Structure formats: C-alpha cells, structure tokens
Amino acid sequence: MAINSIGFIAFVVITCVLYFVFPKKAKWFVLLASSYAFYWFSSNKLIAYMLITTISIYLGALLLDKTEKTAKAKCKTIDNKDEKKKIKKQAKKKKKWIVFFLVLINFGILTYLKYSNFLVGSLNSILHLNFQMPFAKIILPLGISYYTLQAISYVIDVYRGKYEADKNFARVALFVSFFPQMVEGPIGRYDDLAHQLYEPHKFSYENAKYGIQLMLWGYFKKMVIADRAALFVNTVFGNYQEYSGIPIFVAVVFYTLQIYAEFSGCMDIVTGTAQIMGIKMAENFRRPFFSKSVQEFWRRWHITLGTWLKDYVFYPVSLSKATVHVTNGAKKIFKKSYISKLIPAAFALFFVWLGNGIWHGASVKYICYGLYYYVIMILGMLFEPLGDKIVKIFKIDKDCFGYRLWQMLRTTAFVLFGMLIFRATSLENANQMFMSMFTSQNIGMIFDGRLYNIGFTGADFIVLIIGMIIMFVVSLLQEKGYNIRETISKQNIPFRWCLYYMIIFAIILFGIYGPGYNVSDFIYGQF
C-alpha cells in the first residue's frame, strides 16, 4: 500500500476514527492491529520476517534483564569483592553473547534478503565461479532496513541499562511495526516513541489541523515536485549516452531535488499522520541545503540514520580496543600533533560511512557513495587548520553573507557529485556522465527550448521551477525561525481555507499520477 495512494488516505482516516472512538485502554491495540493490517496489505506473507525480529528482540531483551537482575541478587548475598567482580564479569560476558546472537540473527536476515545476490555475484566474479543462489528471486519485505535498526537499538539500549525490557510482547510488537514509519522511517528509539504509542490520546483539533497541513505539504513535494522531476531524470539517466553537457548537469540537479522532495515529503506525510493521533515522531530533516559543510549536511539529512550510526557504530568503535591501539600508535608517531587526534576519529568514522553505504543498497556504487563522503569529511578535517590560517591571513569575515553563500554552494557541489554516484547504474556510468558534462558546450539548449522537452513538456518545466521556488521560500523562512504552520493557523478562516484549497487543487491539477506514470514508488523505500 503506497502512502501516496487513495487507499493509504482511506486507511489513515479509518485508523484515526477507530483510534478516537475506542476506549482509552484499547487505543494502542487499534494502532497495533492497524500496523499489522498495513504490513499485511503491503507485504503479505513477508510479515513473518518482521515477526521473527520482534520475537527475537522481545525474548532477548527479557533474557538480558534476567541475567542482570540475577547477577545483582547474587552480589547482594556475597561480601567478597573479588567474587562480586567475578559474578559481574560473567554476567556482562553472557549479556554480550546474547546481544551478539540477536544482532547476528537480525542482521543475518537482512543480509540474506538484501545482500545475498550481490555477495554471491561478487564472489563468482572474483573467484570465477558459477554458484547460483537456491532462491535467486528474493522479495524484500517492506521497511526491513528501518525496523531492523530500530529493533537492534532497543536490544542494545536494554543491554546498556538505559531502560528495562518491556514484558508485554504486544507493546514491543507495536514499537517495531508502527505503520507510519514502515515505508521510509524515521528510525525511532524505544524511550522516545514507545510511551507515546501506548498512552491514550484524546482528539485534538490542533493536532488534526497541523497533521493534515503537514500531510498536504508532503504530498505537494512528492507528487508535484519529486515525481515531475523524475520524468526528466529517468529520461536522461536511462539514456545517458544520448546526452552531454547541460542535460546531464540539470538531470543531476533535478535528481537531487527529486530525492530531497520525495524523502522529506514522505517524512511530512508520515509525521503528519502520527500527529493527527497525538504522536510526535523523530525529526528526520532540517533543511540540509542550508548547510555550510558536508558534516553539517549529514547532521540535517536523514537525521535518525545518522544518530543511529553515531550511537551504535561510532561510539562503540571509538571505545574499542582496536581504537585504543590506533590512538597509541598515532601518538607515538605524530606525538601531540593535530594528526594524532585526527587518526582515531578517522578510524571510527570509516566504519560509520562504510555502514552508511552498505545500508543504502547492495552494490559497489553504494559502498563508494558512503566512502566518498568519508574521504570528503576526512580531507575537510585534515585541512581545517590550513583553512583557518587562510581566513586569518586574508582577514575574511566568516559571518558575512558572501562567505556563508560560498560554504553552502561548496557543500551543494559535493552533494551533487554524490547524488550522481547514487543515481547512476554503476560507477563507470557515473564517471562517463561526469566527464560528459564538460565535453559538450550546448548552452544553447537553454534558449532554443530543447532542454525543456526532455521527458516532459515546457509547461512541466515551468511547474517544476515554480514548485522549487515555493519549497525554497518555505525552507528559507523556516531557517530564519518562522513557524509557518502557526502563522497560517492565526489567519482568518477564509484565508486559511483558500490556502488549503490551493494546495489540494495544485496536487490534483499538477500532481504526477495515473496511468502511464511509473514514478510513484518512494526511492528510500527500496533501502
């Protein structure tokens, strides 16, 4: 069930009505039943994989709690400090093994379903084999990359003692399966999301109003902007040999626009859906194209994935024995220099960006995509002292508009190249397309109209540009601190409803949908 379909809207309406009609104690059961119904409609029998994940983390977390409590109870009966240390050490070791097996089970399922064909193909290529998978056609369950990370975070947090394991299986099942987050996230945390799902929420006109506003804005970005940009993008990338120069550059820009409008639009839709029921989901976007560095860009883009990698990959690697050895080695060679501090951070960040690339897809290009940002960030950190010296020598005002604009344009350029790697069918094709941008001087296409008829019409081009401007203005106002939704809510009813009708009719009249268009699937829903 696509979230940009009439079926999904009807599903949300029915769920919300049932949620507010049912008694307080039964409200979260409505969410659970709706979530599993949504998943069944979307993935049918593949729901079994989500059940395996849910059962494993539920039992595993209980076992972690039991192990910890048993150890504490034993320690209370013993006065010998050495014996207490021994018991705690044994308990910690057992808990580590429990977490290891839970991670192995769940990432094992994810690896088999998402990466097995890629791994087998790579091995066949390297070793010149012809091994065939027993089940070559593997269908990926909806949202498996998202709910797996969410489930793993729950287990690790219980292991770390952040909170106790939930003894109610149905509550854990709801946390894993909550339907708005199934398609593209965000990746929720148990201590932030779970209590909201279980608490009964009364109908609130404010929540309903703001939620519907956000959903409409999300549908506008997805159907009017993203899907229209996809028409141009798919045409150029699908036949890249036929294009060079300006069309390639515009296709990369439009793809960046497409994926941003689509992903952020999806977040608006699902966040708005949850807000109608009084549930606040984690923020996943914070106007990333106003970033002054690549590091800042990734703190604003897919925020929940970034924080997950930071909390469950970067910090554990940073505190590992391997990092300690790397740190000591760096200090011996580079003493107390800037490089000696950079190397341990670079070591831990490598696994973060390798994981980021692998998470995005089963392909060499996705691994290179992640490592591309890794290299950019490390080079930025390496040359930061030199940059500071240049700024000081030339007395550059870092707070002036011109310098901030340069930083944003530089960051956008890095992102555009990353998006080329991300969208191209292979690294070779990405390189060919990049080189072709500079081999043809066909600026005349901008003026003779040929550019505006690639994949769509000139009218489509105009609508897309207007949509871009609207989205930019809204983002700019938000970046400056304006709460647009509150501002709209304070206006007179005629003005508000005129605005609502304008957005609705814009979606109906200018949205890309219906027979003949194959652009409705969400890109990040594939990961």
**Looking at residues 334-347, what average pLDDT do you find?**
87
Closest CA to 186 of 286, 37, 102, 47: 286
Closest CA to 4 of 282, 263, 260: 263
Residue 513: how many other CB atoms lie within 10 Å: 15
Distance CA 116, CA 136 (A): 9
Among all chains, which residue has been given the structure tokens 């555009």?
A: 416
Per-residue confidence band for 517, with pLDDT thresholds at 50, 70 and 90 = low
Backbone torsion region of residue 370, taken as left when φ is above 0, otherwise alpha when ψ lies between -120 and 50, otherwise beta: alpha
Per-residue confidence band for 60, with pLDDT thresholds at 50, 70 and 90 = very high
| C-alpha pair distances (Å), 147 with each of 19, 265, 527 | 23, 20, 11
SS3 call for 301: strand
Query: Phi/psi of residue 195, each to 5°?
Result: -65, -30
Instruction: Determine the straight-line distance between the first and last CA of the chain, rounded to whole angstroms.
Output: 17
Class of residue 227 by CB neighbours under 10 A (exposed 0-12, middle 13-18, buried 19+): buried
| Of 131-140, 358-367, 415-424, 498-507, minimum mean pLDDT range | 131-140
Query: Phi/psi of residue 207, each to 5°?
Result: -60, -45
Q: Write out pLDDT tens, residues 457-494.
A: 899 999 999 999 999 999 999 999 988 888 888 888 88
**Looking at residues 266-285, what average pLDDT do you find?**
95
- Output the pLDDT for position 104: 95
Q: Which residues are 26's β-sheet partners?
A: none
Average pLDDT in the chain: 90
Distance CA 386, CA 138 (A): 50
Contact 381, 342 (CB under 8 A): yes
Per-residue confidence band for 527, with pLDDT thresholds at 50, 70 and 90 = low
| C-alpha pair distances (Å), 410 with each of 103, 222, 403, 414, 440 | 39, 26, 11, 7, 23
**Looking at residues 323-349, what average pLDDT do you find?**
88
- Output the pLDDT for position 519: 47
Structure tokens at 262: 């689509």
The number of angstroms, rounded, from the C-alpha of 320 to the middle of its chain's C-alpha atoms is 26
- Output the pLDDT for position 448: 85
| Contacting residues for 345 by C-beta, under 8 A, at least 6 apart | 318, 381
Structure tokens at 69: 């409590």
pLDDT over 70 (residue 167): yes
Amino acid type, 233: V
Per-residue confidence band for 132, with pLDDT thresholds at 50, 70 and 90 = low
- Output the pLDDT for position 363: 86
Distance CA 453, CA 236 (A): 11
The domain spans of the chain are 6-203, 204-281+430-527, 306-410+418-423
- Output the pLDDT for position 102: 96
- Output the pLDDT for position 286: 94
DSSP state of 241: G
Q: What is the DSSP string of 207-222?
A: HHHHHHHHHHHHHIII
pTM: 0.92
